[in-house]
């Protein structure tokens, strides 16, 4: 199984070193503790999506700069082999299927939200568009101040550089495909 937290650890340490930032400096930029960042760089700490977004935004990077794997010409992915990033006490699972590799300017995710789970996202980098297709369940999506319900087999596209939130309002699990596309 590919451990997403080891990938995050390697990428974060490389980015921090390339920018000649100390753990203290990065902690101040992100508003996170030095010990939390240190644990993340060691592959521990089980950071939430919100924590990783704070780091990415503080570094002015797309989220995927933290979760990208090494490039391959052909890649077959099985969700059971990806460690999801957890939110809402583990009730929201975000599988980074194809992270943005910096070449293609898009990323593919698969999200599983347990009943009544919710997740709020920080605004993405300006020029980011989010595409969502619900494949099971019922999703309440809040974009800025607008709220809407996306049903199974419905899709939505929106500018994701504003705060937005996802909530499972189905009795069972809600599953969705998400593509993030960014313009340089």
Is 74 domain-assigned?
Answer: no
Name residue 166's beta-bridge partners: 119, 141
Reading the block at residue 97, the tokens are 């299927």
Q: Provide the pLDDT for residue 72.
A: 61
Q: Sheet containing 92-98: give its strands across.
A: 85-87, 92-98, 106-113, 174-182, 128-136, 155-159
Q: Which residues of the chain have pLDDT under 70?
A: 1-2, 71-73, 101-103, 184
The reported pLDDT for the residue numbered 171 is: 97
pLDDT at 47: 83
102 plus 55 within the same structural domain: no
- Residue 1: per-residue pLDDT: 45
CA nearest neighbour of 147 among 171, 163, 170 = 163
Q: Is residue 177 part of a domain?
A: yes
Contact assessment for residue 91 and residue 113, using Cβ atoms and an 8 Å cutoff:
yes
What tens digit of pLDDT does each residue of 26-68 get?
999 999 999 999 999 988 777 887 888 889 889 988 777 887 7
**Number of independent structural domains in the chain:** 2
Q: For position 184, what pLDDT does the model report?
A: 67
142 and 174 co-located in one domain:
yes
127 Rama sector, left if φ>0, alpha if ψ -120 to 50, beta otherwise: left
What is the pLDDT, as a whole number, of residue 82?
A: 84
Residue 125 lies in a domain: yes
Angle between helices 23-30 and 49-58 (to 10 degrees): 110
Residues 97 and 167 occupy one common structural domain = yes
Residue-level pLDDT at 78? 83
Cα–Cα distance, 158 to 92 (Å, whole number): 21
pTM over 0.75: no
């Amino acid at each position: 199984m590919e451990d997403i937290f080891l990938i995050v650890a390697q990428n974060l340490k490389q980015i921090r070193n390339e920018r000649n930032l100390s753990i203290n400096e990065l902690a101040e930029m992100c508003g996170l503790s030095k010990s939390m960042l240190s644990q993340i760089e060691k592959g521990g700490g089980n950071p939430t999506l919100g924590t990783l977004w704070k780091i990415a935004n503080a570094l002015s990077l797309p989220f995927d700069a933290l979760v990208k794997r090494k490039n391959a010409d052909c890649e077959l992915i099985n969700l059971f082999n990806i460690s999801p990033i957890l939110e809402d006490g583990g009730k929201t699972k975000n599988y980074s299927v194809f992270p943005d590799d910096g070449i293609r300017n898009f990323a593919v995710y698969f999200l599983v939200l347990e009943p009544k789970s919710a997740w709020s996202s920080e605004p993405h980098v300006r020029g980011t568009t989010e595409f969502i297709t619900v494949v099971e369940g019922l999703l309440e999506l809040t974009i800025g101040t607008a709220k809407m319900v996306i049903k199974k087999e419905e899709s939505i596209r929106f500018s994701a550089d504003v705060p937005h939130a996802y909530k499972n309002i189905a009795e069972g699990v809600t599953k969705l495909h998400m593509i993030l596309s960014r313009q340089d």
